[in-house]
Amino acid sequence: MRIGRALAASVGLMLSTAAGSAYAATTGNTTTTFAVTGGALSITVPPSTVSLGSGTPGTQITAQLGAVQVTDARALLAAAWTGSVAATSFTTGGGTGPETVSNSAVSYWSGAATATSGSGTFTPGQANTAAAVTLASSRTAFTLTSGSGSNSATWNPTLIVSVPAAAVVGTYTGTVTHSVA
């Protein structure tokens, strides 16, 4: 009889435990997530062809290139970027010595921003004509430091072409490239 009572007690305990656990949870947690997405870091440059005007050998041609805009839609907590500029040499005809204006004879200055949005410190690479730099190598055009969230800056850079005294008559073509990283 002892075995029967022990068995009955075990079965009763199991039923009581099974029945109790089905009703034990009165709340429950679900881990829930969502994503905040950002866009890209991009640059918009002047039209594919810009005429700087004309000049005679031994003079300078000075003209604004057109609006350059960096847009940072990455929505970063610590946003920073550097806009750079570089140029090829400019050639006409067959590109012989007298038909080439070296990129070292082309100077650039970004000037102050014409528009900005967002937070941070926007700094021109060259604030004025006295700070102009040759495009014989890649140069800093504009920077953003200490920013956060999305931001943008627009500037209208000036090019100064020192036409060599030995330059021949012709339309000279080269490429000015802006980039951002």
**What does the DSSP 8-state code read for residue 168?**
P
What percent of the chain is modeled with pLDDT above 90?
82
What the chain holds in terms of domains, given with CATH numbers, is 38-180 (2.60.40)
Range from 9-13, 94-98, 114-118, 126-130 carrying the lowest mean pLDDT: 9-13
Pair type for strands 41-44 and 68-87:
antiparallel
Decide which of 25 and 165 is more confident.
165
Taking alpha carbons only, the member of 9, 17, 151 closest to residue 80 is 151
Note the maximum CA span of the chain. 124
Question: Alpha-carbon distance 155 to 67, whole Å?
Answer: 6
End-to-end CA distance of the chain: 86
> Within a 10 A sphere around the Cβ of 147, how many other Cβ atoms?
20
pLDDT at 101: 98
pLDDT > 90? residue 98? yes
